[in-house]
Amino acid sequence: MNETQHIASAFDRDLEAVQAMIMKMGGLVEAAILDSVISLEKRDPQLAQDVRRGDRVIDTMEERITEEVARVIALRAPMGSDLRTVLSVMKISGNLERIGDYAKNIAKRSKVLVEMPQVGGATSAVRRMARDVEAMLKDALDAYIQRDTSLAEDVRERDLEVDQMYNALFREILTHMMEDPRNITSCMHLHFIAKNIERMGDHVTTIAEQVIYLVTGELPDDERPKGDRSSFVTSPAE
């Protein structure tokens, strides 16, 4: 093996290692999404606490991936498609970390909502919305591993469905608030949870767009379809 082949082989090993970290981080984030809404639906404060603790692991993994990407760039000086791959890894890990933050926020509010009366069927709607986002994330990560731009584009388009679910849930929450002022506090928390899930969908869509960039060298030039038309106050990730 000559020196060039050796460097290429070392880069491939580095890349495999960091991509394995991305997939492990993605699995933790998928679980955090589902567990956060299960803790809400089943009124399980212990599961909510587990999600909040798990977010520290996700944050640590994002830091490790960033450090590894910096090391690979410094040692291997990748170019062209190799550089796109390394940069995409860092971008994807950053979006996964943000999704984990939103799951943590949902868990925080779920713990509060345990002490309050349930509001109609809003919790079930939140669960369906979260499951759709989790499925989108799984497909986005599969698209990344398989370098599948068609699957990535499908994920990108499905974000519109999440926005539409959010809008329907938003209207339902407003109805509950108007029908009974005692529901206002619970409904405020439910709205913030729904908004966090909608924003998760945005970050998943960004991951899908990174897959397209990785394969083609260009980000999609058409504006992604958006269906969020609510004007209700929103909260940032905490």
Could you tell me which of 206, 90, 192 has the C-alpha nearest to residue 137? 206
Is pTM, for the whole model, over 0.75? yes
- Residue 3: is its pLDDT beyond 80? no
**Residues 6 or more apart whose Cβ sits within 8 Å of residue 224:** 156, 159, 205, 209
**Residues 6 or more apart whose Cβ sits within 8 Å of residue 178:** none
Looking at residue 234, what is its pLDDT? 47
Residue 8 — pLDDT band, cuts 50, 70, 90? Answer: low
The CATH architecture one would assign to domain 3-216 is Up-down Bundle (1.20)
Which residue type, as a one-letter code, is found at position 53? R
Taking the C-alpha atoms of residue 189 and residue 191, their distance in angstroms, rounded to an integer, is: 5
Q: Is 69 helix (H, G, I), strand (E, B) or coil?
A: helix
How is the chain split into domains, by residue range? 3-216
CA distances 59 to 64, 72, 105, Å, are 9, 20, 14
Tokens of 218: 């260009």
Ramachandran angles phi, psi of 21, nearest 5°? -65, -40
Which residue type, as a one-letter code, is found at position 73? I
Centre a 10 Å sphere on the Cβ of residue 195 and count the other Cβ atoms it contains.
22
Taking the C-alpha atoms of residue 21 and residue 174, their distance in angstroms, rounded to an integer, is: 42
Taking the C-alpha atoms of residue 140 and residue 207, their distance in angstroms, rounded to an integer, is: 7
Averaged pLDDT of the chain: 89
Q: What is the pLDDT of residues 195-216, one digit of tens each?
A: 999 999 999 999 999 999 999 9
- Residue 120: is its pLDDT beyond 50? yes
Contact present, 188 and 234 (Cβ < 8 Å): no
Looking at residue 51, what is its pLDDT? 97
Q: Decide which of 13 and 48 is more confident.
A: 48
Q: What is the pLDDT of residues 25-79, one digit of tens each?
A: 999 999 999 999 999 999 999 999 999 999 999 999 999 999 999 998 898 888 8
